[in-house]
């Protein structure tokens, strides 16, 4: 008996095995939640059949329904596909063949939203508190929001002015730049964080979440200074898994709200999000003459074609061409 694939949630249930397999591979909490969510939707779509009794035909039908009836974005359909490929390959040990009959969601060709340097500076000046420092790192190093919030103390090198991003998109590590203008504020901020950590330790807390394998290898690391979050949350919580009093990193919504509010107060024509800082970072580096391969590495893009989109949004117009109208006189 395979049992109910959704209601059975123990360690050796289907979803439990999926979570364990993802944790072993150091996937983020967000990825675990997303993958298990898609597997639940897949099972419900097929009337609660166990995935072990289904295969490529059922996966294709589910993915096609997402595109045709539910009209999801291409990125959403791709995430669902990734979750199901992982389920069959790494959990059920029954890799799926090539899915050739899937109707794919259309991927719209949109240019990234980019701010001018003056507008970036205005937004950062308008932001307040810790979110302002987070925003400076996002723009200064081209970080994604969660990459910035999940930085550990050990990932910041104030002397060399570099930031190490660990387990970024695609579970890849990379090194990017730390803006010199952030060194002073970040030094002051880390001093405050260290005081907070010391108070937590005195109260019998001071724990942070660690990758499962690292926790087993270095059981005391969860309370060590170098593994603390650079941007810790204001409140602690009790871990249901270990019973430890932990402090999570700052929630992304705190930064997102501050960025959006700053853009509204400035009445900017463009919509501003935390990801706008990353887009602006890449575009401004291109304007300054840095080569596309270097920018690709700083952004952590696997394919340079992803980075190439920023060549279309340079301030000098389409494909960096000067309009012939600019040479006309008397207009």
Q: What are phi and psi of 162, to 5 degrees?
A: -130, 155
Known active-site residue 278: yes
Q: How many other C-beta atoms are found inside a 10 Å radius of the C-beta of residue 86?
A: 20
Distance CA 83, CA 116 (A): 38
Whole-Å CA distances, 322 to 200, 318, 319, 327, 328: 58, 8, 9, 9, 12
Q: How many other C-beta atoms are found inside a 10 Å radius of the C-beta of residue 297?
A: 13
Distance CA 29, CA 37 (A): 12
Given the residues 174, 189, 275, 312, the one annotated as active site: 275
H helices of 25-128, in order, are: 29-45, 56-68, 74-86, 117-126
Which of the 8 DSSP states describes residue 269?
A: S
Known active-site residue 169: yes
Given the residues 19, 27, 144, 279, the one annotated as active site: 144
Given the residues 154, 169, 174, 248, the one annotated as active site: 169
Given the residues 27, 278, 279, 284, the one annotated as active site: 278
Burial class (CB in 10 A: 0-12, 13-18, 19+), 71: exposed
Which tokens sit at 250?
């700052």
Q: How many other C-beta atoms are found inside a 10 Å radius of the C-beta of residue 142?
A: 25
Known active-site residue 144: yes
DSSP E strands: which ranges in 100-166? 156-157, 162-165
Distance CA 263, CA 255 (A): 12
Given the residues 152, 246, 279, 301, the one annotated as active site: 301
Distance CA 329, CA 331 (A): 6
Distance CA 111, CA 48 (A): 40
Known active-site residue 89: no
Give the active site residues. 144, 169, 275, 278, 301, 310
């Amino acid at each position: 008996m395979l049992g109910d694939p959704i209601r059975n949630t123990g360690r050796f249930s289907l979803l439990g095995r999926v979570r364990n397999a993802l944790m072993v591979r150091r996937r983020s909490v967000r990825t675990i939640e997303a993958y298990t969510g898609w597997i639940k939707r897949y099972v419900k779509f097929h009337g609660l059949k166990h995935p072990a009794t289904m295969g490529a035909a059922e996966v294709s039908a589910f993915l096609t329904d997402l595109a045709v009836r539910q009209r999801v974005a291409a990125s959403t359909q791709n995430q669902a596909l990734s979750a199901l490929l992982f389920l069959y390959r790494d959990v059920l040990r029954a890799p799926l063949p090539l899915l050739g009959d899937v109707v794919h969601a259309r991927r719209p060709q949109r240019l990234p939203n980019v701010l001018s340097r003056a507008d970036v500076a205005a937004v950062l000046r308008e932001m307040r508190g810790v979110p302002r420092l987070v925003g400076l790192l996002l723009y200064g190093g081209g970080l994604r929001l969660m990459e910035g919030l999940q930085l550990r103390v050990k990932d910041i090198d104030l002397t060399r002015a570099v930031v190490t991003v660990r387990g970024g998109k695609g579970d890849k590590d990379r090194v990017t730049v730390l803006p010199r203008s952030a060194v002073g504020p970040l030094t002051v901020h880390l001093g405050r964080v260290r005081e907070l950590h010391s108070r937590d330790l005195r109260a019998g807390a001071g724990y942070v979440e660690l990758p499962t394998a690292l926790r087993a290898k270095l059981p005391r690391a969860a309370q060590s200074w170098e593994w603390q979050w650079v941007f810790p949350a204001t409140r602690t919580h009790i871990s249901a898994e270990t019973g430890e009093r932990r402090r999570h990193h700052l929630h992304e919504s705190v930064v997102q709200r501050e960025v959006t509010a700053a853009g509204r107060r400035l009445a900017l024509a463009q919509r501003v999000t935390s990801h706008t800082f990353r887009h602006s970072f890449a575009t401004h580096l291109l304007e300054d003459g840095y080569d596309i391969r270097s920018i690709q590495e700083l952004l952590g893009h696997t394919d340079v074609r992803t980075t190439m989109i920023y060549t279309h949004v340079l301030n000098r117009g389409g494909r960096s061409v000067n309009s012939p109208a600019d040479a006309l006189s008397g207009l």
